[in-house]
Structure 1
Amino acid sequence: MIAGIGVDVVDLARFSRAIERTPRLRERLFTEAERRLPVHSLAARFAAKEALIKALGGSEGVRWHDMEIVADGEGDPGFVLHNVVERDARARGIANIHVSMTHDAGVAMAFVVTERADRG
């Protein structure tokens, strides 16, 4: 059963300027593994993290490092949750998180669907 849906869009040029102006932004928003990626991939991950917050219904107590985008064995993106976000998702009965990210024509976008376990 779908528990929440979130979507977010990031302007690549604006995001790139922000990263250039404030180099510590990479450290603040992304885990060590994520930081090594090119800016367009970081923008898509930022959009995914924002979309997850929306799908979960809020950001109280959330830290950016509590949400990490990783690739599964087939190269598809997924979330690894930590700390507050992990506890919040568990408390809401979230069993699965689906994420899709893209970047093209100066925009990065992500779509997230959270799913509760079927209680039937």
Structure 2
Amino acid sequence: MIIGTGIDIAEIARFEKFVKEDNQSLFGRLFTRFELDYCFAKRFSARPLAMRFAAKEAFLKALGTGLRDGINWLDIEVRNDELGKPHLYIKGKAADQMKIAGAEKSHLSLSDDGGFAIAMVILEA
């Protein structure tokens, strides 16, 4: 049974600006060390950063809570399996709220085109 769905879009140029400014303070609030290592290993790091941000926003929309009840950006991590398929690793207060909502699984799809990154999340019981 589907508990919630969320979609978000992020402008890649916005993250290009953050990369050029070397905005470490912002990156540290939004992304885990694992995510930052993954993104900055890429030639164009703004694209995967924008995709991960869109994924986090889409997850919060699917959960229906936003950033409240103690949830923070670092509770939501985007990882890739050995084939490159993205998935969410949820911890902390976000995991607690997911359990309260009755969601046991999350599904994530990421794409980009025309300077935008898009993410869709489905939470399932």
TM-score normalised by the chain length of structure 1? 0.90
Answering whether residue 65 of structure 2 is matched by residue 58 of structure 1, we say yes
Q: 5 Å matches for 1:26-45? A: 26-36=27-37, 37=39, 38-45=45-52
Structure 2 unaligned blocks of 5 or more = 40-44
Q: 1:84 aligns with which of 79, 89, 93?
A: 93
* Structure 1 SS opposite 2:71: coil
Q: Which residue of 2 aligns with 1:108?
A: 117
Q: Which residue of 2 aligns with 1:93?
A: 102
Answering whether residue 2 of structure 2 is matched by residue 2 of structure 1, we say yes
Distance in 1, Cα, partners of 2:16 & 2:28:
14
Note if contact 2:8-2:119 (Cα within 8 Å) is conserved in structure 1: yes
Runs ≥4 residues deviating over 6 A = none
What is the CA distance between 1:53 and its match in structure 2?
Answer: 0.2
Matched length: 116
Note if contact 1:68-1:80 (Cα within 8 Å) is conserved in structure 2: yes
What is the CA distance between 1:91 and its match in structure 2?
Answer: 1.3
Distance in 2, Cα, partners of 1:54 & 1:101:
15
What is the CA distance between 1:102 and its match in structure 2?
Answer: 1.1
Q: Which residue of 1 aligns with 2:42?
A: none
CA RMSD of aligned residues (A): 1.3
Q: Which residue of 1 aligns with 2:81?
A: 72
